[in-house]
Amino acid sequence: MMIIDRSRLQRDDPGSYLHFMSEQHRIRVNGVELAFDAAPNTPLLYVLRNDGALNGPKFGCGLGQCGACTVIASGSAIRSCITPVADVVDRDIVTLEGLGTVQSPHPLQKAFMDEQAAQCGYCVNGMIMTAKALLDANPKPDESEIKRALSNNLCRCGSHVRIVRAVQRATGHGGQ
C-alpha cells in the first residue's frame, strides 16, 4: 500500500491551521493510505485538499448546507466541511478523483459532460458524489428519487435540469 506522508510540509509551515495541537492520523482515501498531522477536529475537507492534494471536493459554505464538499465515506455521502477528521479514521473515503480518469471517466462523469450539466462547475463535485452514493444504493432511481437525493445540493447557476438529466443518462434512462 502506498503511503503519502506530507506531515513534513505541514511542520515547515508555521502559519498552518493544522499545525496547532496537531497529532498524527492516517486515513484511507481512494484506496490509498494518507498520513498527516492535524488537530482531531480539523475538517476532513481541509485534510483532503491541503494534505492529499485532492481538489475535487470544494469549499462552498463551510456549514454543511451547499454540498460542494461532498465525499463518500463507507458508502454514504457526507459533507467533508463539517466532518472532523477523527471521525473517519476507520472509514473508506472516496473523492471525485477516485471515480474515473480523464481517459476513462466514470459513467456519471461522462454523463455530466455529455449533458453539459454545469456552468461554473463549482457544485458538480457534490452533485456527482451524491449521485454516486444514490446509484450505489439504488442503480435505477426514477426522476423523483434523483431529485430527492440532490435536493440539498445547491447550484447557484441553475443547472439543475441538466444535472438531473445527466444522472438519468448515467442510469441508462433519459438523456438526449
Give the residues lining the site for ligand FES (CB under 6 A). 59-62, 64-69, 79, 81, 118-123, 155-157, 159
Smallest gap from residue 83 Cβ to ligand FES (A): 9
Smallest gap from residue 24 Cβ to ligand FES (A): 25
Q: Which residues have C-beta within 8 Å of that of residue 108, sequence separation ≥ 6?
A: 99, 128, 131, 132, 135, 166, 167, 170
User: Of the two residues 7 and 17, which places its CB atom closer to ligand FES in the complex?
Assistant: 17
Q: What angle in degrees, to the nearest 10, is found between the helix axes of 160-171 and 124-137?
A: 40
Contact between 75 and 136 (Cβ < 8 Å) = yes
Smallest gap from residue 60 Cβ to ligand FES (A): 4
- Integer CA distances (angstroms), 36 to 4, 14, 71, 76, in order: 8, 15, 19, 23
Count other C-beta atoms under 10 Å from residue 129's C-beta.
28
User: Of the two residues 17 and 59, which places its CB atom closer to ligand FES in the complex?
Assistant: 59
Smallest gap from residue 42 Cβ to ligand FES (A): 14
User: Of the two residues 81 and 135, which places its CB atom closer to ligand FES in the complex?
Assistant: 81
Smallest gap from residue 17 Cβ to ligand FES (A): 16
User: Of the two residues 105 and 121, which places its CB atom closer to ligand FES in the complex?
Assistant: 121
| CA–CA gap between residue 38 and residue 77 (Å, rounded) | 23
User: Of the two residues 35 and 160, which places its CB atom closer to ligand FES in the complex?
Assistant: 160
Three-state DSSP class for residue 13: coil
Contact between 37 and 7 (Cβ < 8 Å) = yes
